[in-house]
């Protein structure tokens, strides 16, 4: 941030590709400086945002612009300011407001070798995470006083840390033993999941509880998630994110809403769900182009967006959970009132771009009244322990290939590492012949069976694991046929 004052007709211009919000900083900065009982220099003021060729966006430059002008007019010492980064929007009365992306800005400031970040109190925890010392200020006047040496920065209160086990608990779900097992299986192998069943059977409820049984985030994952939610403006001042994200975009979402895009590329739902869960409720209602757009990010774990000369890569390593009615009328089975044409259209839409990326398909039925009354489901914490143990076994087995979980195993590694017993393989080939399983379907059954074995702490995949994995696959027969 450079500011230059010249004699001549008083005026104020900002150069260096500021966007509209950044251009409007002029009014907020002028008003903020006056309200802070500092002096607005009656000169020709030029502020340059360097490097001049890079577009600057947003209101976070307000505070730095104000400080640069105060330094240029000798109201604060320029040498002292030079060791500081600053970030924040100014209110007309000089108060400092938080802006999205404080963590990323703080990390950049630290990389640039600066010692301290002057920012609103809400952003201070993110500065701490980035390893730069925050100077929390509520008002421009406080920043001025601090830089003149007239005031020490207020101590930063560390944000409370949770263990990431917040959110709704699996024990809330009554009955649905099989669906809960399928959820656990998906979490254990990181397999994408489809829940198919009539409305009101708890599909949405189950999906929302997936983050609570996934392994706690590693420190590196937590930082990435915090960075993304900070940039997305979802996370003001909470310090480190501890809960895995859960994103449930409406089925009217556009392709760029899902995977990111726009004139100034912004991350989409797939990135906001990074290291967490992307839930597509009513899968068959999503527009085909949106689902097509999701295919590549799902496969690659990142999405590349090209706009003009800018190329941006956003991470998209999420677990996909989809829910669907069995058919358009929602009743399914014998009660179904759909026409053949309706059913065909429904299956066409489901079978589209994503179904062959989903390892676990499970039919969720109406629970019996007795099950709803009596069965007490285990708590998420207990299920999570089993999931974590199964993941550790996978990491031990696959670590040397740079993989962490069964869902990532390509066909080649699958043959090598599934450790299926001869009788399990025999059964698999039998199923293959009997149900005309595709090669992909075949691999998927074996992959899921490997996770079932990991949940059992069994070094080998036995016939019982194959039977269960195939049943999960085949019970939604219409769907399986479509896949």
Ligand X SMILES: Nc1ncnc2c1ncn2[C@@H]1O[C@H](COP(=O)(O)OP(=O)(O)O)[C@@H](O)[C@H]1O
Residues that bind ligand X (CB under 6 A): 173-176, 199-205, 323, 367
Look up residue 289 and give its two tokens: 């182009």
What does 336 interact with, of ligand X, Zn ion, Mg ion, none (CB < 5 to 8 A by kind)? Zn ion
Between residues 202 and 239, which has the closer beta carbon with respect to ligand X? Answer: 202
Contact call for residues 171 and 384 (beta carbons, < 8 A): no
215: alpha, beta or left? (left if phi > 0; alpha if psi -120 to 50): beta
Between residues 322 and 387, which has the closer beta carbon with respect to ligand X? Answer: 322
What does 338 interact with, of Zn ion, ligand X, Mg ion, none (CB < 5 to 8 A by kind)? Zn ion
Contact call for residues 457 and 389 (beta carbons, < 8 A): yes
Q: According to CB under 5 A, which one of 31, 138, 204, 254 is a site residue for Mg ion? A: 204
**Among the listed residues 246, 322, 315, 328, the one whose alpha carbon sits nearest the alpha carbon of residue 290:** 322
Q: What angle do CA 375, 193, 340 make, to 5 degrees?
A: 95
Taking the complex as a whole, the smallest distance from the CB of residue 178 to ligand X amounts, in Å, to 11
Between residues 35 and 204, which has the closer beta carbon with respect to Mg ion? Answer: 204
Between residues 327 and 418, which has the closer beta carbon with respect to Zn ion? Answer: 327
Q: What is the distance of C-alpha 229 from the center of its chain? A: 7
What does 329 interact with, of ligand X, Zn ion, Mg ion, none (CB < 5 to 8 A by kind)? Zn ion
Residues 301-340 that bind Zn ion (CB under 5 A): 327, 329, 336, 338
Taking the complex as a whole, the smallest distance from the CB of residue 199 to ligand X amounts, in Å, to 4
**DSSP designation for 101:** T
Taking the complex as a whole, the smallest distance from the CB of residue 372 to Zn ion amounts, in Å, to 24
| Size of site (CB under 5 A) for Mg ion | 1
Tokens 């589209």 correspond to what residue? 352
Q: What angle do CA 54, 255, 483 make, to 5 degrees?
A: 140
What does 180 interact with, of ligand X, Mg ion, Zn ion, none (CB < 5 to 8 A by kind)? none
Q: Say if strands 360-363 and 277-280 run parallel, antiparallel, or are unpaired.
A: unpaired
Residues comprising the chain, all counted: 483
Q: Please list the alpha-helical segments (H only) found in 176-304.
A: 177-189, 203-208, 219-231, 255-259, 269-272, 288-300
Contact call for residues 302 and 315 (beta carbons, < 8 A): yes
Taking the complex as a whole, the smallest distance from the CB of residue 280 to Mg ion amounts, in Å, to 11
Between residues 272 and 327, which has the closer beta carbon with respect to Zn ion? Answer: 327
Look up residue 72 and give its two tokens: 């240029």
Q: Report the C-alpha gap between 39 and 251 in whole angstroms.
A: 53
Between residues 59 and 212, which has the closer beta carbon with respect to ligand X? Answer: 212
Q: Report the C-alpha gap between 7 and 344 in whole angstroms.
A: 76
Taking the complex as a whole, the smallest distance from the CB of residue 365 to Mg ion amounts, in Å, to 15
Between residues 204 and 256, which has the closer beta carbon with respect to Mg ion? Answer: 204
**Among the listed residues 321, 380, 366, the one whose alpha carbon sits nearest the alpha carbon of residue 175:** 366
Taking the complex as a whole, the smallest distance from the CB of residue 206 to ligand X amounts, in Å, to 7
What does 88 interact with, of Mg ion, Zn ion, ligand X, none (CB < 5 to 8 A by kind)? none
From the number of C-beta atoms within 10 Å of its C-beta (0-12, 13-18, 19+), residue 205 rates as middle
In 10 A of CB 84, how many CB atoms? 20
Taking the complex as a whole, the smallest distance from the CB of residue 468 to Zn ion amounts, in Å, to 28
Taking the complex as a whole, the smallest distance from the CB of residue 201 to Mg ion amounts, in Å, to 9
Q: Say if strands 2-6 and 44-48 run parallel, antiparallel, or are unpaired.
A: antiparallel
Taking the complex as a whole, the smallest distance from the CB of residue 202 to ligand X amounts, in Å, to 3
Q: Work out whether the CA dihedral 331, 333, 336, 338 comes out positive or negative.
A: positive
Look up residue 122 and give its two tokens: 């809400």
Per CB under 5 A, does 350 bind Zn ion?
no
Between residues 291 and 338, which has the closer beta carbon with respect to Zn ion? Answer: 338
Residues 136-165 that bind Mg ion (CB under 5 A): none
For 80, phi and psi rounded to 5 degrees? Answer: -70, -40
Between residues 232 and 330, which has the closer beta carbon with respect to ligand X? Answer: 330
In the chain, the N- to C-terminal Cα span, in Å, equals 56
Q: What is the distance of C-alpha 322 from the center of its chain? A: 16
Between residues 192 and 226, which has the closer beta carbon with respect to ligand X? Answer: 192
Contact call for residues 274 and 317 (beta carbons, < 8 A): yes
**Among the listed residues 134, 33, 110, the one whose alpha carbon sits nearest the alpha carbon of residue 3:** 33
Between residues 327 and 446, which has the closer beta carbon with respect to ligand X? Answer: 327
Taking the complex as a whole, the smallest distance from the CB of residue 373 to ligand X amounts, in Å, to 11
Stretch that binds Mg ion, among 87-95, 146-154, 199-207, 210-218 (CB under 5 A): 199-207
What does 239 interact with, of Mg ion, Zn ion, ligand X, none (CB < 5 to 8 A by kind)? none
Taking the complex as a whole, the smallest distance from the CB of residue 164 to Mg ion amounts, in Å, to 25
Between residues 95 and 247, which has the closer beta carbon with respect to Mg ion? Answer: 247
What does 175 interact with, of Mg ion, ligand X, Zn ion, none (CB < 5 to 8 A by kind)? ligand X
Taking the complex as a whole, the smallest distance from the CB of residue 126 to ligand X amounts, in Å, to 35
Q: Where along the sequence are the contacts to Mg ion (CB under 5 A)?
A: 204
Q: Where along the sequence are the contacts to Zn ion (CB under 5 A)?
A: 327, 329, 336, 338
């Amino acid at each position: 941030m450079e500011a230059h004052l010249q004699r001549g007709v008083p005026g104020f211009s900002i150069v260096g590709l500021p966007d509209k919000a950044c251009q409007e900083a002029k009014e907020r900065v002028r008003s903020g400086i006056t309200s802070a009982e500092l002096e607005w220099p009656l000169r020709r003021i030029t502020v340059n945002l360097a490097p001049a060729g890079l577009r600057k966006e947003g209101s976070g430059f307000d505070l730095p612009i104000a400080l640069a002008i105060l330094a240029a007019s000798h109201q604060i010492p320029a040498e002292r300011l030079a060791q500081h980064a600053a970030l924040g929007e100014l209110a007309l009365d000089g108060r400092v407001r938080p802006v999205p992306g404080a963590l990323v800005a703080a990390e950049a400031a630290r990389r640039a070798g600066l010692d301290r970040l002057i920012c609103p109190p809400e952003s201070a925890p993110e500065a701490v995470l980035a390893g730069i010392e925050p100077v929390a200020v509520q008002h421009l006047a406080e920043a001025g006083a601090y830089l003149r040496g007239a005031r020490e920065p207020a101590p930063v209160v560390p944000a409370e840390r949770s263990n990431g086990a917040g959110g709704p608990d699996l024990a809330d779900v009554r009955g649905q033993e099989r669906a809960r097992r399928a959820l656990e299986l998906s979490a254990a192998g990181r397999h994408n999941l489809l829940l198919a069943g009539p409305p009101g059977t708890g599909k949405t409820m189950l999906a929302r509880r997936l983050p609570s049984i996934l392994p706690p985030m590693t420190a590196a994952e937590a930082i990435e998630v915090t960075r993304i939610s900070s940039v997305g403006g979802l996370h003001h001042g909470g310090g480190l994110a501890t809960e895995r994200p859960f994103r449930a975009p409406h089925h009217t979402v556009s392709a760029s809403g899902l995977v990111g895009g726009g004139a100034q590329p912004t991350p989409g739902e797939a990135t906001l769900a990074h290291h967490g869960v992307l839930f597509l409720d009513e899968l068959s209602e999503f527009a085909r182009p949106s689902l097509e757009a999701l295919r590549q990010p799902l496969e690659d774990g990142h999405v590349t967006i090209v706009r003009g000369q800018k190329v941006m890569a956003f991470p998209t390593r999420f677990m996909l959970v989809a829910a669907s009615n069995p058919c358009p009328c929602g009743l399914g089975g014998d009660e179904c009132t759909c026409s053949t044409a309706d059913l065909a259209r429904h299956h066409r839409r489901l079978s589209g771009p994503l179904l062959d990326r989903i390892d676990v398909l499970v039919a969720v039925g109406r629970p019996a009244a007795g099950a709803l009354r009596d069965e007490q489901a285990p708590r998420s914490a207990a299920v999570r322990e089993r999931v974590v143990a199964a993941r550790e076994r996978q990491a031990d087995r696959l670590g040397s290939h740079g993989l962490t979980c069964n869902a990532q195993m390509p066909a080649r590694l699958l043959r090598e590492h599934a450790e299926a017993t001869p009788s399990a393989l025999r059964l698999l080939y039998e199923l293959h012949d009997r149900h005309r399983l595709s090669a992909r379907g075949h691999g998927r059954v074996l992959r899921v069976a490997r996770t079932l074995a990991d949940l059992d702490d069994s070094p080998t995949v036995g016939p019982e694991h194959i039977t269960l994995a195939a049943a999960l696959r085949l019970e939604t027969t219409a769907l399986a046929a479509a896949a």
